[in-house]
Amino acid sequence: MSEPQDAPATGPALIAERVMRSIVERKLRPGERLGEKELAEVFGVSRTMVREALMQLQARGFVEVRSRQGWYVVEPSFEEAQETYAARRVLESGMLRDAGRPLQAAIRTLREHVAQERGAIAEADNAGQRSVLLADFHVCLAEQLGNRFLTAMMADLSARTTLVSALYQSQTEAQHSNADHEAIVDALAAGDMARAEQLMRDHIDALAARLDENLAHRARLQDRLLDALQPQTAQAERPGRVKPRR
């Protein structure tokens, strides 16, 4: 009798999680192609397993299939960008409204997270980690308030916000977001849940107000210009245009 083979170290769920993490880290951008063959080579698995992972992400609204072109990271419309923040406004302010005063251990965890954000912001070449930490604050908050279903919802909303931000927001307001997060934690530590709720609502409204439909238009024009002017060999080597980054 042959010995049982070890289960594969990488399954569809893990592949999907890695792709999601790359989206949050801004390594995969809206409209980027996700080639099945290239992903299979990156993860050392079959294209069938990659396809299953991409179908999971498609069901969650993060990738799409374009006819005769393959898989791509979704490009949210401006209306969808606005709806994303509207959903977050309802969910996160309601989460705080219904929560009891957090335990001191939860406050310590949130303060540590805010401090990590501040450290990443201070490092000019650490944009990926900065993006991850700022997005994860909201997931961390839901987790510390003790609701695993809201935590899962916030993980998806935070990732979608990253796609929205990449298209429709400039990346110059990280310090403001960090300050907002710190103020929310301060209100939680003081047991002032009404103030924490209002601060969260103001924070999300400020982010939504920074949406600029023209940014995505300018970025697309720049991409077309680069494609038109670069030598053919350079176009083939441009990161993210043909295959995803490792």
Contact status, residue 199 vs residue 180, Cβ threshold 8 Å: yes
- pLDDT, position 242: 37
Pairing of strands 33-34, 70-73: antiparallel
Print burial letters for 31-41: b (CB count within 10 Å at least 16), e (below 16). bbbbbbebbbe
Output the six-digit token pair for 182.
């710190």
- pLDDT, position 216: 67
Mean pLDDT of the chain: 85
- pLDDT, position 125: 75
- pLDDT, position 173: 80
pLDDT digits (tens, 9 = 90+) for 43-69: 999 999 999 999 999 999 999 999 889
Contacts of 165 (CB under 8 A, 6+ apart): 171
Radius of gyration of the chain (CA): 20
CA distance 83 to 163: 13
Contact status, residue 153 vs residue 91, Cβ threshold 8 Å: yes
For the chain, domains (ranges, CATH) are 9-75 (1.10.10.10), 78-209 (1.20.120.530)
Task: Give the CA distances from residue 63 to residues 28, 43, 122, 169, in Å, rounded to whole numbers and listed in that order.
Answer: 11, 18, 32, 21
Below-50 pLDDT ranges, the chain: 1-7, 221, 224-226, 228, 233-246
Q: Which uninterrupted H or E stretch holds 3? A: none
- pLDDT, position 1: 42
- Looking at this protein, which amino acid is placed at residue 204? I
Contacts of 110 (CB under 8 A, 6+ apart): 102, 137, 140, 141, 144, 185, 188
pLDDT digits (tens, 9 = 90+) for 119-140: 999 987 777 788 889 999 999 9
Q: Which uninterrupted H or E stretch holds 94? A: helix 78-98
pLDDT digits (tens, 9 = 90+) for 196-214: 999 999 999 999 999 998 8
